Structure formats: structure tokens, C-alpha cells
Amino acid sequence: TQLLEQSPQFLSIQEGENLTVYCNSSSVFSSLQWYRQEPGEGPVLLVTVVTGGEVKKLKRLTFQFGDARKDSSLHITAAQPGDTGLYLCAGMGTSYGKLTFGQGTILTVHP
């Protein structure tokens, strides 16, 4: 069974601060996806990283996939209240199509 450890579980920061969310595993993933979820809605895909060492940027969000494809991070620069939400990492493993989800990070950005 593949596990994906996501940390921190809760993050409460002030507007303008930077933050990093981590996802770590002992397993190799063929790809890793990051989602953001608002209360009462389904997760929305932010990015998919595929290649070891890959870095993708989405405005103030920077996603990195570890060289060994076992870990990933999400860095948000100058967080805004609109960034508040549940962030989920999910790895695509060896079982076709099945995603392994991290525990999620609840981010609250205070104005």
C-alpha cells in the first residue's frame, strides 16, 4: 500500500506571508497532482507534475516534484485570503488510475 504523508495539517498565516506544504512518500509515483478544495465542492486540479525534479509555476504557486518522484512541495508566495482552502496532494502509483491522497492541508490566510 502506497502512503503519502502531507504536512502540515493546518496552517494559519497572515496575508503576505509565504508558506510551503510538503508531501512525502517512500514509494515512487508516476505523477503527482495537487488539488485545492473549497467547502462543499469537489477538488479542483491545480497542477500535475510528472518528471523527477520538475518545477511548475502557477502565478504565486510553485510546485516541485522530487528527483526520485517520491516527494513534492507546494510553495505559495505572498499568500492572499483567496488562497484559503484545503490543499491536497495525490500520487498516481502502479495501480492503473488509482490516486493515493495525502491527508490534506487546511490553509487559512487572514487579511
The CA-atom distances, in angstroms, between 12 and each of 34, 94, 103 are 19, 35, 17
User: 10-14 and 105-110 as β-strands: parallel, antiparallel, unpaired?
Assistant: parallel
Q: Which stretch binds other proteins (CB under 8 A): 14-22, 29-37, 61-69, 76-84?
A: 29-37
CB 1 within 8 A of CB 61: no
* Positions in 6-25 near other proteins (CB under 8 A): 6
Closest approach, Cβ 62 to other proteins, in A, equals 18
Let me know the angle formed at the C-alpha of 59 by 22 and 13, rounded to the nearest 5 degrees.
50
* Positions in 52-111 near other proteins (CB under 8 A): 86, 88, 90, 92, 96-99, 101-104, 106
Closest approach, Cβ 16 to other proteins, in A, equals 25
Q: Which residues bind other proteins (CB under 8 A)?
A: 6, 30-31, 33, 35, 40-45, 48, 50, 86, 88, 90, 92, 96-99, 101-104, 106
